[in-house]
Structure 1
Amino acid sequence: MEFEGIRAIVTGGASGIGAATTAHLTRRGAKVAVLDLNPEAASEAALSIRCDVADDASVRAAVERVAREFGGIDVVVNNAGIGAQGTVADNDDAEWQRVLDVNVIGAVRVSRAALPHLRQSPAAAIVNTSSIAATAGLPARALYAATKGAIRALTLSMAADHVREGIRVNCVNPGTADTPWINRLLSQADDPVAERAALEARQPHGRLVTPEEVAAAVAYLASPLAGSTTGTELAVDGGMQAVRLRPVE
């Protein structure tokens, strides 16, 4: 229960990795506010607030409400994001701007609004959700990978900017996770079973990552027990980035 007394924000916390993170932090004693476009789907144990991370006024209002109702903010989990498929030729400028606005500038907006409160916390931490797409070249993921690469770089810069203020900043890099977004992609494939098998096979441990596994990594990075961990990226990818296996004979 190392999160007893910790007040946390989880963006995109109503589904997938965000929902698992909300549940994990709540079980370990945190008070959690979910900021989401669909807050009605969030856990009843959380304070649920409708928030559009692409709208600065919406973000500022939501963060101030959390600080007011919780009496402060200790942890921010920047998890809200949207997917994108295709090569650089497959998406127009408007789509690039839309995905960058949510995935990158959204995290900036939430962090910026929360910083005055985090500076008052004795256990301040920001955890950003990056991706295996930031560290490995994946086909037809140019736009998505660009946003997650930006999150990775942003994490390091923020860690340097805020370490002397007592604010730790880290990120998690999930592999292909069993989330609603992946399931929607699979449902659109010509052969969903074969496509799922291919996604599982490219991860050395042979299966999709679970949202709960990513949530556990987020919790470690957010925990007051990890007080010397900042500027770190933690891969939760079944070995996809670092492990090279010989083909099965």
Structure 2
Amino acid sequence: MDTPRLDALDVPDLDGSTAFVTGTTRGIGKEIALALAEAGANVVSTGKTVDDSDSDLSGTIGKTAEACRELGVESEAIQLDVRDADAVEAAAEAAIERFGEVDIVINNASAIQLANVADLPAKRFDLLNEVNVRGTYLVSRAFLPHLREREEAWLLTNAPPVTTDRAPGKAAYGWSKLGMSFVTLSLAGELAGESVGCNTFWPVTAIDTRATRYFGLGTEDDWRHPRIVADTVLEILSRDPDEFTGEAVYDEELLREAGVESFAPYNLTEGDPAPTSAQMFEADYSREE
């Protein structure tokens, strides 16, 4: 499917900015990285996958970085396990040293496992929380001193509003994603008055990713292209971080506010998919043992 383009959106000019994005191998993370590059931002592409030659799933952080460079910006790929505190600190230092500054940090990397509590092993519960909550905490914390020094900066997280689906099979994953939201939205208060906008973003429908297909989340009639999430990020970045912070936004709601009237270009099939209360995203960790 071709990447949708919406004339209604006022894309921000990110020329001279640098974005550090986690989980950019494929899916939503890659789409966000490319959207940022199109808007002029240099991109630090991070994740665990550096070689897909032995995998039936294509995509690496290097390929994403290369695609960003083809759009006319600078891009570096840094292999990163967001659970590793030392590795996160080193990645942040490397990104800042390479580009001089990083003013956009996006926590996208997440683990996913959908299972009832009785069926989910403790090690899987730990993985969800280590990647999702701890990873968001470590990445955010690593960049805080630097973001505080920027004239304007953003810290955004791919996570749901605090009210989310508590349906069977989603307890552990839902809890870990809410943890990502709590970290990010708490930082909005911690960084109040320092021109660092801290917000979360989340889709109202299923997004076409590896996890959506692997876990059988609906059908193509219910799916949208990852670009809708990337465009939501761009819309957030077009605002004033002093004024737009501490917000938990849904993609469609924010884009309607921005002037988008039809979401048909994002849909995989004709018609509008029915909104659902909580959707699942792919990540480098989604099927890790």
TM-score normalized by structure 1?
Answer: 0.84
Partner of 1:148: 177
**Is residue 218 of structure 1 aligned with residue 247 of structure 2?**
no
RMSD: 2.1
Q: 1:4 aligns with which of 15, 31, 36?
A: 15
The separation in 2 between residues aligned to 1:70 and 1:83, in whole angstroms, is 32
**Is residue 43 of structure 1 aligned with residue 65 of structure 2?**
yes
* Cα distance per residue 1:134-163 (max 9 Å; x no partner): 522333111111111122222221111112
The separation in 1 between residues aligned to 2:48 and 2:238, in whole angstroms, is 26
Relative to 1, partners in 2 of residues 1:84 and 1:133: Cα closer, same or farther, differing over 3 Å? farther
The separation in 1 between residues aligned to 2:168 and 2:223, in whole angstroms, is 17
The separation in 2 between residues aligned to 1:224 and 1:133, in whole angstroms, is 23
* Conserved? CA contact 1:133–1:141, under 8 Å: no
Q: 1:25 aligns with which of 16, 36, 46?
A: 36
Relative to 1, partners in 2 of residues 1:134 and 1:178: Cα closer, same or farther, differing over 3 Å? farther
The separation in 2 between residues aligned to 1:66 and 1:233, in whole angstroms, is 27
The separation in 2 between residues aligned to 1:180 and 1:126, in whole angstroms, is 25
Partner of 2:24: 13
Give the number of the structure whose residues are more often helix, by fraction.
1
**Percent of residue pairs identical:** 30
* Conserved? CA contact 1:123–1:224, under 8 Å: no
> Gapped runs of 5+ residues in structure 2?
1-11, 50-60, 70-74, 253-273, 279-289
The separation in 1 between residues aligned to 2:120 and 2:28, in whole angstroms, is 26
- For the residue of structure 2 that corresponds to 1:3, the secondary structure is coil
Give the paired residue count. 227
- For the residue of structure 2 that corresponds to 1:230, the secondary structure is coil
Relative to 1, partners in 2 of residues 1:118 and 1:226: Cα closer, same or farther, differing over 3 Å? closer
Which stretches of structure 1, 4 residues or more, deviate above 6 A after TM superposition?
none
- Taking CA–CA contacts closer than 8 Å with sequence separation of 6 or more, which of the two structures ends up with the larger relative contact order? 2
- For the residue of structure 2 that corresponds to 1:182, the secondary structure is helix
* Conserved? CA contact 2:137–2:180, under 8 Å: no
Partner of 1:90: 119
TM-score normalized by structure 2?
Answer: 0.73
Alignment of 1:68-147 (within 5 A): 68-131=97-160, 135-147=164-176
* Conserved? CA contact 1:133–1:145, under 8 Å: no
Shift of residue 73 of structure 1? 0.9
